[in-house]
Amino acid sequence: VGYRRGNVSSGINAEYGDNKVHTYPPNSHSLIKDLPLYFALVYPDTMQLKGFSLTVTGESVMETWSTKFRGDKILSVATKATNDAVYSQGRVLGDRSVLHKYINPNLIAVAMETGTGDKGHVDILLYDMVSGIQIHTVRHKQYSGPVHLLLAENWMVYHLWSAKLRRYEIVVAEFYISHSSNSTSFSSLLPNLSPYAIQQSYISTTPLSALAVTSTLKSITNRAVLFAESGGRIASIPKQLLDPRRPTVPTAADKYEQLIPYSPLLVTPPVSYLTYNKTLFGIRDMITGSSGIESTSLLFVYGDDLYFTRVTPSKTFDMLNEDFDYYLIGIVLIGLCLGTIATQALADNKALNKKWK
């Protein structure tokens, strides 16, 4: 379990034989004594999801809730990143109305499979790790794994196999509430509005090994969803293409909002690949993080190969180009300074001559 306050991070390792808790670094108890810390664990063998809370002393854990799934196996689990920043609490529509985002940092998504092939189905379940309340559920009949899940802000993306249509599909769902709570922070311990989901699916042309999303300091930069293809390439897809509100026939309000018309096939342009002409073997997962520059997100891919690169979904709007002519701008600044000094001297002489007349 990870915990972060300001610039200090710590990891908590819980030994559940006697519910003893050990922290790393060892002196990090002072960081968590005054805060209730909640987390959840998935037990694939028993098909259970359990929630726990760290006691006030920070030395033991207590089970707060549990649920048992009715399925054959758990395919995938995903939670939000601890540094998942949210720039805007709402989304302004073309008619000037606002969709209020459901921002819950305590969500956990579980993908569960029952049966196989045409007789099977995949359930996507969304829970609150603190209260144990089921937030959202959807069943995909005649679908099967593998399933790759991704949670960020108020949306969820997952990739799965359609046994009936014999193709891979990508599903994106965004969660909103009817009105804003007028609160700067979210609490799962208080009564909250139930969200509603807007969902849309797209056809994927390739199997995936992992999913990730770009991360920046303030999330001002447009986000991109990163696809690790089984063939060893990493693709960067703008989140605007994975918008469940993409209309089939755009209206005037949709055009004003700059929504892209819906197309069922998600095509990846060659320029969207971050690996260029390189192939990465045995990709296990991807890790993203923010850099010191808002426009740039860092990406680390690991598996049989290791790959590290920078991602700029909105281009480098806060950086100068590498071929920027520093000498020219220096000459211009020096010229402006000399011109200012010269014009000041001329103005003083003119004022002095005017007084002698």
Q: How many CB atoms lie within 10 A of CB 325?
A: 11
Q: Residue 215 CA to chain centroid, in angstroms?
A: 6
Q: How far apart are the C-alpha atoms of 168 and 206, rounded to whole Å?
A: 7
For residue 68, the model assigns a pLDDT of: 92
Q: How far apart are the C-alpha atoms of 272 and 249, rounded to whole Å?
A: 26
- Per residue in 102-142, pLDDT tens? 888 889 999 999 988 778 899 999 999 888 899 999 999 99
Please check whether residue 69 is in contact with residue 47, taking contact to mean a CB–CB distance below 8 angstroms.
yes
For residue 11, the model assigns a pLDDT of: 52
Residue 293 in tokens: 């520059």
For residue 320, the model assigns a pLDDT of: 78
Q: How far apart are the C-alpha atoms of 65 and 109, rounded to whole Å?
A: 16
Q: 């998942």: which residue's tokens?
A: 84
Task: Look at phi and psi of residue 246 and say left if phi exceeds 0, alpha if psi is from -120 to 50, else beta.
Answer: beta
Residue 79 in tokens: 């939670």
For residue 326, the model assigns a pLDDT of: 85
Q: How far apart are the C-alpha atoms of 141 and 138, rounded to whole Å?
A: 10
Q: How many CB atoms lie within 10 A of CB 91?
A: 15
Peptide bond into 313 cis (omega under 30): no
Residue ranges, the chain, pLDDT below 70: 1-36, 55-59, 180-184
Q: Residue 205 CA to chain centroid, in angstroms?
A: 23
Give this prediction's pTM: 0.82
DSSP code for 221: S
For residue 92, the model assigns a pLDDT of: 87
Please check whether residue 74 is in contact with residue 44, taking contact to mean a CB–CB distance below 8 angstroms.
yes
Q: How far apart are the C-alpha atoms of 74 and 97, rounded to whole Å?
A: 39
Backbone angles phi, psi at 336, to 5 degrees: -65, -40
Peptide bond into 25 cis (omega under 30): yes
Write out the H or E segment, with its range, that includes residue 101. Answer: strand 98-101
DSSP code for 273: B
